[in-house]
Amino acid sequence: MKKSEFLQIIAIIRNNYNNFLFDDLKEALWFDLLKDLPDGAGLANVRRHIMTSKYPPTIADIRQQAEVNHYDQLRIQTAERFAEMERWKQEAVPLPEHLIPKSLTRGDDS
């Protein structure tokens, strides 16, 4: 997460939860604990939280959403990779006979 995204998150939380304050220490702590999130994930998670909860988000709320999103993203990427591998298998050209070791050819009893 970039610092600019984090500042947007703080602004969104401040504007939607009037009694939620960020001092310099709290801001530094939150950024330190959220900075490893993928770009865009923290902002999306805060927006989702605001739409579903009347209480301000905690660091754990924001991270938990990211972990769920990350799992879904990995699941989708894995399915796409398996589909790509299947396409490769279907499109593969057989190895020329002269390159196949004799020990691997069918009917070789030696």
Q: What would the pLDDT profile of 26-82 be if each residue is shown by its tens digit?
A: 999 999 999 998 888 899 899 989 999 999 999 999 988 655 666 777 888 899 999
Token pair recorded at residue 34: 């959220």
Per the model's pLDDT, the better-predicted residue between 70 and 19 turns out to be: 19
How far is it, in rounded angstroms, from Cα 67 to Cα 5? 18
pTM score? 0.57
Cβ–Cβ under 8 Å, residues 62 and 25: no
Nearest to 26 by CA among 73, 3, 59: 59
How far is it, in rounded angstroms, from Cα 21 to Cα 41? 22
Q: Give me the pLDDT at residue 98, please.
A: 87
Q: Give the Cβ contact number of residue 2 at 10 Å.
A: 11
Q: Residue 109: is its pLDDT beyond 70?
A: no
